[in-house]
Amino acid sequence: MSVTDPAQTDLGFTDPDPQRGGRWTRVQAIVLPLASVLLAFAIGGILIWFQGVNPLEAYWVLFSSALGDIDGLTRVMEKSTPLVLTGLAVTVGLRTGLFNIGAQGQLLVGAIGAAWAGYNFQMPTLIHIPFAIAFGMLCGAAWASIAGVLRAYRSVSEVITTIMLNAVAIAFVDYLASRPLKEPDQPLTRTPEIAESAALADFGIVPSGFVIALFVSVFFGWFLARTTQGFRFNTVGLNPSAANYAGIGVKKTIFLAMAVSGALAGMGGAVETLGITGRFEPSFNAGLGFDGITIALLARANPIATIPAALLVGTLRSGAASLQFQTGIEPEVVDVILALTLLFVAAPIVGRLLFRKRAMKQTTVSSGWGGA
């Protein structure tokens, strides 16, 4: 039995010829996301044309408003920051063979946890900011661990549990923000403003949260490729049976991967709270976790590639309002483009997953009847 280098895999799929497979995987990692984005923009352009607007003009407005000045660039980085982290959250799950669809709920729990830690304590800035971020990560990890325990020790699909936990998290944080953690004498559903010592400052035009997200992406690129625990994650994702045979604790690894995934999503919520909103307001965090799925698949489960993928999504989100004001096109066209991108990126992966499971089942049956 040979162990395949996880870096030479396409989310767990390898070519029988290692050299050809490695080259093809690298080509796919660039061509498939690029083709998916271009095809999504082409279909989006058709929809824009049906609304009586020149698609090229609309796309020029979309990108120039987001990238054409300093304020636009800062806004793109602000919107991209939580997207990088939720994309990483989904990526860690994918590399371990898990599909964490619960990043939205984990982000919300992390966001309100960081808000509570931000306004409920008075500390020096150098202590308060790491404490609030760490508390948000802990909340996200704890929330994801529910699905991790059920998946690892009861074989309950994490897809089902994380979807259900999203709904629970939305209701839970709404209750907290409207009842026990609500800002006094305020009709809106929100927490008090965080202390100044917990607020993330900017480095010139660059939000400090974006710098944190870049550092975390690079760290996890190294972690998954160069560390023993990263190797365990990759091996369990490639073949749990082989990992178990090699002495890797599969259940423990699955649980830990879900906890780490939730912590990253919780960090996304914490950074959004401490660096952008300054308090927890449910409406300001809508959709960030779900965009993380698009980013992770667009990045082909590569931690470093989540950065350009998140910047693309952040640019589209940032320019959506200007698209409506200047052309009259509804900003939901951006949602359509992102949804089509996700569809085109995910379709080949789903197909390979189905064929891989069928091949593994046939191999098991063959081995059971004396096959090699």
CATH code for position 341: 1.10.3470
CB 268 within 8 A of CB 210: no
Bridge partners, residue 202, by sequence: 207
pTM of the model: 0.87
Angle between helices 306-327 and 70-95 (to 10 degrees): 130
Residue 245 lies in a domain: yes
Amino acid 3: pLDDT: 40
Residue 16 lies in a domain: no
Phi, psi of 202 (to 5 degrees): -105, 150
Residue 186 lies in a domain: yes
How far apart are the C-alpha atoms of 182 and 281, rounded to whole Å? 10
Amino acid 352: pLDDT: 55
How far apart are the C-alpha atoms of 274 and 114, rounded to whole Å? 7
How far apart are the C-alpha atoms of 40 and 297, rounded to whole Å? 15
Residue 371 lies in a domain: no
Across 280-297, b (16+ Cβ under 10 Å) vs e yields bbbeebeebbbbbbbbbb
- The count of domains in the chain is 1
Range of the domain at 147: 23-364
Residues written for the chain: 372
Amino acid 24: pLDDT: 59
Annotate 212-257 with DSSP letters as a single string: HHHHHHHHHHHHHHHSHHHHHHHHHHH-HHHHHHTT--HHHHHHHH
Amino acid 372: pLDDT: 36
Residue 3 lies in a domain: no
Residue 372 lies in a domain: no
How far apart are the C-alpha atoms of 239 and 222, rounded to whole Å? 21
Residue 14 lies in a domain: no
Torsion of CA 201, 203, 207, 210, to 10 degrees: -120
278 phi-psi bin (left φ>0, alpha ψ -120 to 50, beta other): left
Write out residues in the chain with pLDDT < 50, as ranges.
1-20, 351, 354-355, 363-372
The angle at the Cα of 284, spanning 278 to 289, to the nearest 5 degrees, equals: 110
What is residue 328's three-state secondary structure? coil
Q: State the amino acid at position 368 in one-letter form.
A: G
Residue 370 lies in a domain: no
